[in-house]
């Protein structure tokens, strides 16, 4: 949880005045906002790793002799990475909910 000193320092940097009576409430809200950012950071990392794994799996089985249309291959590679990233993001959001 964010400390009151951290909240006051950030408020000072943002040139926002916070009354002492509102400090506890602002601290709680600020901590909740930071937790949401932490979740988003985790989701982005899970999505990145999942997309990377999907691409690596495709590249391991890569056979240039079998590819007749490179544009289709590239689009399917991107689609696989996007699908893996989306699945990882959905799984992480479902876990966090």
Arithmetic mean of pLDDT over the chain: 89
Q: Tell me what pLDDT residue 97 has.
A: 55
Nearest-angstrom CA–CA distance, 47 and 38:
14
Does residue 75 register a pLDDT over 90? Answer: yes
Helices (H) and strands (E) in the chain, counts: 3, 0
Q: Is the pTM of this model over 0.85?
A: no
* Cβ atoms of residues 11 and 18 within 8 Å: yes
Q: Tell me what pLDDT residue 53 has.
A: 93
Q: Tell me what pLDDT residue 14 has.
A: 92
Coil, helix or strand for 18? coil
Question: In this structure, what token pair is assigned to residue 10?
Answer: 């950030």
What does the pLDDT look like over 20-66, one tens digit per residue? 899 999 999 989 998 888 888 888 898 999 999 999 999 998 899 99
């Amino acid at each position: 949880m964010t400390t009151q000193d951290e909240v006051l320092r950030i408020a000072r940097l943002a040139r926002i005045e916070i009354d002492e009576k509102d400090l506890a409430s602002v601290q709680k809200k600020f901590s909740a906002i930071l937790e949401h950012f932490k979740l988003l950071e985790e989701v982005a990392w899970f999505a990145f790793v999942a997309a990377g794994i999907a691409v690596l799996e495709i590249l391991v089985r890569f056979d240039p002799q079998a590819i007749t249309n490179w544009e289709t291959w590239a689009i399917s590679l991107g689609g696989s990475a996007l699908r893996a990233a989306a699945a990882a993001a959905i799984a992480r959001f479902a876990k966090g909910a």
